[in-house]
Structure 1
């Protein structure tokens, strides 16, 4: 059974995500109300609650949209495991404003929470090494890699992205291989 995407629902979700990003540029996350978010998106609260359970779920939706964008890029460019770290840091360098917002609002942990799910979806790209592991070992490996990438990304952003994406990718490969 296939699930059909309702374009109006997707548009409403996207409007709420964009409204959240716009509001976060002007005020702290904790000061943003759902009513304010809905007003900025031009939608009613009922529509918000049809798609989301909280403000944090909007941030997670933004992160998910970014993952879809990144995943499409690596698929279209046929990026393999050894090129993945460079693609990763190059992508996040282009979205540094979003990472800064997450850090400033103590929301960066939401990114880590999603990483394990993303890595599972990317098992086929990560390489054959993961295929030789049991499901339990794969789960722990994804958790370890997700935490490591998340921590490196946060440190890099806090340091002002002074190292190039190429330098970050090189360090990542050294650490993981």
Structure 2
């Protein structure tokens, strides 16, 4: 095993340990020492890879969102279908430990989910609607954050409702709710 493979394997063990601990404990109460013990590593190894436990979860969520990005690109999806796939894949990849912490109303979990959605919206989402990069003005930044907020609110509520509506229904709703934001961002790209 080379250094890169060992580094990647360490990160996977750390992430799996955190997700396992979240099955039994509220995220905010988990200590880095517990993650280290569960993963069979020393705390320094965790801090060599991550700034704190929030970075572990953030990286995991961003990785999962990149998988959504791949599916969207591979299937050449557009419009409402992007949201449907987003919700399909959330339901598919979200571990029960994360759902448990969403249901426990752990505020920190919701903040990290929002941060990962904000990353996704700012770095991936607009690419589906336009080929040219648009300059990010202050107002444009507000629009993107609003889009991430809507996506976050719908996603959390849908998760709390145990996915009562289908991905197609919730995707259509989100597509409609974000219509004016998408139009605003596209208008900026055209102007």
- Structure 1 length-normalised TM: 0.85
Of 94-103 and 58-67, the range deviating more from structure 2: 94-103
Q: Does 1:100 align with 2:103?
A: no
Q: Does 1:23 align with 2:39?
A: no
Cα distance between partner residues in 1 of 2:136 and 2:31: 44
Does the Cα contact within 8 Å between 2:58 and 2:115 map onto a contact in 1?
no
- Out of 51, 54, 58, which is 2:52 matched to? 54
Tell me the equivalent position of 2:188: none
Tell me the equivalent position of 2:184: none
Q: Does 1:139 align with 2:141?
A: yes
- Out of 79, 83, 86, which is 2:84 matched to? 86
Cα distance between partner residues in 2 of 1:147 and 1:163: 20
Structure 2 unmatched runs, 5+: 180-191
Does the Cα contact within 8 Å between 1:38 and 1:48 map onto a contact in 2?
yes
- Cα deviation, 1:109-148, whole Å, max 9, x if unaligned, reads 21112222211222211x1399677533331221010000
Does the Cα contact within 8 Å between 1:82 and 1:173 map onto a contact in 2?
yes
Structure 1 unmatched runs, 5+: none
- Structure 2 length-normalised TM: 0.79
Of 145-154 and 131-140, the range deviating more from structure 2: 131-140
**What secondary structure is seen at the aligned counterpart in 2 of 1:79?**
coil
**What secondary structure is seen at the aligned counterpart in 1 of 2:100?**
helix
Tell me the equivalent position of 1:124: 127
Shift of residue 98, structure 1, vs aligned partner: 4.9
- Out of 151, 162, 174, which is 2:153 matched to? 151
Tell me the equivalent position of 2:72: 74
Tell me the equivalent position of 1:44: 42
